[in-house]
Structure 1
Amino acid sequence: MHFEITPKTQQTLSQWIIQNTLAPTDFLSLSPCREGQPISYHYTTLVNHWVTDIGSDKTQYGTHSLRRTKPSLIYAKTKNLRAIQLLLGHAKLESTIEYLGVEIEDALRISESCET
């Protein structure tokens, strides 16, 4: 998966990588619970436990799908791509469009009507 990061984020990540002498195969953040695993492993485990505890199918939920839930609901209700862009911290509207999976023609039409 490819995604855009801001110059400030790129600078911060570069400093972190140098400071911690990370190799290209190293994880940026490690799990506090499982040695050698990325921090995403920790969050995935938490989500799996929460979903199982409420009696739902854990294969239907994930950390990323949960992150997308609120912006998707706001978009469905308001069709305001600019608001979603701001909430997610995307620099480009195209990133928000791709993230939400919105049809490009509809997204651009809606976006143009929101930017005044």
Structure 2
Amino acid sequence: MGSGSDHRQPAQTNVPFIRKENVMETTAINTPGRVPWNKSKFTGQKPPLKLKEIWAIRIRLQLSARTRDLAIFNLAIDSKLRACDLTKLRVRNICHGQHVASRATVMQQKTQRPVQFELTEQTRDSAEAWIRTAGLSQSDFLFPSRIHESPHLSTRQYARLVHRWIASIGLDDTAYGTHTMRRTKASLIYRRTKNLRAVQLLLGHSKLESTVRYLGIEVDDALEMAEQTEV
């Protein structure tokens, strides 16, 4: 080897900054003898579910009488909440008396800003069925954990449920995550209305630019226009 090799500097790679909001998993720091937990996992922006996929999962949960999972799934779609907010909901957050309300407001953990969401009839019905089945009171967490160390469903447990739902309809669950649930209805609303401001309010974003990036609509719209242009 030539003498110049002693002075050769190791190659440097530029690692792009990835917004935490768009990524469910983060890259673990490598330590000797330890395999990163997210090795071979898809860590990019999680796509929303299509309407037919929503119904495929919903019907499977209904047929298998998974009352809790159906309530979580429907509420996740309607509320568009982050996993940390969805899992910490209490019964009183969505109920007025003995019935689930058609609208609810919660304080977001990440931004400390309130966000309002709608609850469709099927979501209200599934939530009420779960509350009755579990015998929950107003002060109880809506989705108690089945692990004694945690009072409510953890975000990790919720993520496992999401992957299970996705896999049950034959999709590659590694390409999806909890942000899939948050992004799904917001994406459908934007596709139907093109009203970014409305979607911004529903997602609880303080800046419109955050909503644009979160939905990835600039790329999608550009591709859609390209597909419609014949040359």
Give the TM-score normalised by structure 2: 0.30
State whether residues 166 and 176 of structure 2, in contact with CA within 8 Å, keep that contact through their aligned partners in structure 1.
yes
Say if 1:69 and 1:2 are closer, same or farther in 2 by CA, change over 3 A. same
Assess, with a 3 A threshold, how the Cα gap between structure 1 residues 7 and 101 changes in structure 2: closer, same or farther. same
Q: Does 1:76 align with 2:191?
A: yes
Q: 2:156 aligns with which of 34, 37, 41?
A: 41
Matching residue within 111, 117, 138 for 1:5: 111
CA distance in 2 between counterparts of 1:83 and 1:72 reads 11
Q: Aligned residue for 1:58?
A: 173
Aligned length: 82
Query: 1:51–1:61: 8 Å Cα contact kept in structure 2?
Result: yes
Structure 1 CA distance, aligned partners of 2:20 and 2:173? 26
Q: Structure 2 CA distance, aligned partners of 1:51 and 1:34?
A: 27
Distance between the aligned counterparts of 1:63 and 1:77, measured in 2?
A: 23
Provide Cα deviations, 1:36-67, integer angstroms capped at 9, x if missing partner. Answer: 9xx32111111122223334332232111221
Residue 32 of structure 1 deviates from its aligned partner by 6.0
- 2:216 pairs with one of 80, 97, 101: 101
Structure whose alpha-carbon radius of gyration is higher: 2
Q: Is the 8 A contact 1:75 1:84 kept in 2?
A: yes
* Worse overlay, 79-88 or 89-98: 89-98
Equivalents in 2 of 1:60, 1:48: separation in Å? 9
C-alpha distance in structure 2 between counterparts of 1:90 and 1:82, whole Å: 10
- Contiguous gaps of at least 5 residues in structure 1: 9-30, 107-116
Normalising by structure 1, we get a TM-score of 0.54
Q: Is residue 47–residue 62 contact of structure 1 (8 Å, CA) maintained in 2?
A: yes
Is the 2:199–2:211 Cα contact (8 Å) retained in structure 1?
A: yes
C-alpha contact 2:113 2:204 (8 A) present in aligned 1: no
Tell me, which stretches of 5 or more residues in structure 2 are unaligned? Answer: 1-18, 22-109, 115-144, 222-231
Distance 2:172 2:20 in 1: 29
Determine if contact 1:34/1:42 at 8 Å carries over to the other structure: no
Distance apart, 1:89 and its partner CA: 0.9
Higher share of residues assigned helix: 1
| Residue of structure 2 equivalent to 1:14 | none
